[in-house]
Amino acid sequence: MKKELPFSPEEATHMQHTLYHQAIGSLIYLAVATCPDIAFTVSMLSHFLNDPGDAHWEVVKCIFRYLKSTRDLQLTYGSEQHDLEGYTDAEGGGQEDRHTISGYTFLVDGGAISWGTKSQELVTLSKAKAEYVAAIVTRGLRVGL
Examine the domain organization and report whether 61 and 93 are in the same domain.
no
Domain match, 60 and 105 both:
no
Query: Is residue 55 assigned to a domain?
Result: yes
Is 29 inside any structural domain? Answer: yes
Number of domains in the chain: 2
* Last residue of one domain, picked from the residues 69, 93, 124: 69
Last residue of a domain, one of 69, 98, 118: 69
pLDDT tens readout for residues 99-126: 677 778 888 877 777 877 777 776 766 6
Same domain? 63 vs 20: yes
Point out the domain boundary residue: 44, 69, 94: 69
Q: Indicate whether 11 and 60 sit together in one domain.
A: yes
CA distances, 3 to each of 6, 23, 54, 110, 143 (Å):
8, 21, 11, 39, 34
Q: Is residue 20 part of a domain?
A: yes
Residue 47 maps to a domain? yes
Rg of the chain over Cα atoms, rounded to whole angstroms, equals: 18
Rounded to two decimals, the pTM is 0.58
3 has pLDDT over 80: no
Longest dimension (CA), the chain: 59
Provide the residue range defining the domain that includes 106. 85-138
- pLDDT tens, position by position, 11-66: 666 667 678 888 999 999 998 878 888 888 898 898 888 888 888 889 999 999 99
14: Cβ–Cβ under 8 A, 6 or more apart, which residues? Answer: 54
